[in-house]
């Protein structure tokens, strides 16, 4: 067992600082597989054109270890490596890493605590989804592409109060999202628009969160075009919406190939 695993979380960085390369030789970085997944998911946002410069972030959680891996704040994607990613506990305390975590970490933490089934969170300022967020309008489901991934409209949070913004802004952003989902299943609607800010998406892991962020941007763009063509367009009917969502999700899903039994 790595020596660092025997230490309290607060002592891990002290251990690595004291023993440096020797410690790294005998004790590899914490959560190497999760680090790779989170790095890949962050780079996917770039590949799909959802982020500019250092905008956006993806995190992943190991619920077994009670640890989160997240993109560091303000680090260019093109130079980012797994070693740059920051590991924190569920209170946001750094466990491993020398860089500052994303400033949106408290939002991610709030979502992990409230939505017990998610394993990854992605945040972007993608153009169309952010436009809907700035307009403070939920994205209606106009067709089957949306219905395949979101079992309902993509909701928008209430605007945050001056007090919420002035104090613990990022944490209160998470609380605003959680309040929005009091009567919505976050597993069935894996994304949200934060009013005047932008989209957050989540999924079973970091890769799924990034995937849902890409889909969210796509349905935001299509909804914009739909209303541009017909400002009186109606949302898709419930029967068709349910059909498309449930053929991909749930115990009766039949889309795609069967998974190999283990």
Out of 14, 168, 242, 255, the active site residue is 255
Find the mean pLDDT for residues 67-85. Answer: 95
pLDDT at position 257: 84
- Is 48 a residue whose pLDDT tops 60? yes
pLDDT at position 250: 81
pLDDT digits (tens, 9 = 90+) for 49-67: 999 999 999 999 999 999 9
Residue 88 pairs in a beta bridge with 68, 94
Out of 16, 128, 148, 149, the active site residue is 148
What does residue 201 show for φ and ψ, rounded to 5 degrees? -135, 160
- Is 199 a residue whose pLDDT tops 80? yes
The domain limits of the chain are 29-246
- What CATH superfamily is the domain 29-246? Class II aldolase/adducin N-terminal domain (3.40.225.10)
Tell me if residue 168 is catalytic: no
Tell me if residue 224 is catalytic: no
Contact 86, 94 (CB under 8 A): yes
pLDDT digits (tens, 9 = 90+) for 104-119: 999 999 999 999 999 9
- Is 121 a residue whose pLDDT tops 70? yes
- Is 3 a residue whose pLDDT tops 80? no
Q: Is 24 left (phi over 0), alpha (psi -120 to 50) or beta?
A: alpha
Give this prediction's pTM.
0.86
Contact 126, 199 (CB under 8 A): yes
pLDDT at position 256: 78
- Is 15 a residue whose pLDDT tops 70? no
């Amino acid at each position: 067992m790595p020596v660092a695993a025997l230490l309290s979380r607060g002592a891990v960085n002290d251990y690595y600082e004291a023993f440096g390369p020797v410690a790294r030789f005998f004790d590899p970085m914490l959560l190497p597989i999760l680090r790779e997944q989170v790095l890949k998911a962050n780079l996917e946002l770039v590949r799909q054109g959802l982020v500019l410069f250092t905008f956006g972030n993806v995190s992943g959680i190991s619920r077994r270890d009670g640890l989160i891996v997240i993109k560091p704040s303000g680090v260019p994607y093109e130079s980012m490596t797994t070693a740059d990613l920051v590991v924190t506990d569920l209170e946001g305390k750094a466990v491993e890493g020398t860089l500052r975590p994303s400033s949106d970490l408290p939002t991610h933490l709030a979502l992990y605590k409230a939505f017990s089934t998610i394993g990854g969170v992605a945040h972007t300022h993608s153009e169309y989804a952010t436009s809907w967020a700035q307009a403070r309008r939920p994205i209606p489901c106009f067709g089957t592409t949306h219905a395949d991934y979101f079992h309902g409209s993509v909701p928008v949070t209430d605007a945050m109060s001056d007090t919420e913004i002035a104090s613990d802004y990022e944490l209160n952003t998470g609380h605003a999202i959680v309040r929005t989902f009091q009567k919505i299943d976050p597993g069935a609607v894996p994304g949200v628009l934060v009013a005047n800010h932008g989209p957050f998406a989540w999924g079973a892991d970091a890769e799924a969160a990034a995937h849902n962020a890409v889909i969210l941007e796509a349905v935001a763009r299509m909804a914009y075009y739909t209303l541009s063509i017909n400002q009186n367009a109606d949302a898709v009917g419930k029967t068709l919406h349910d059909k498309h969502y449930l053929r991909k999700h749930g115990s009766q899903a039949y889309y795609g190939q069967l998974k190999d039994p283990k």
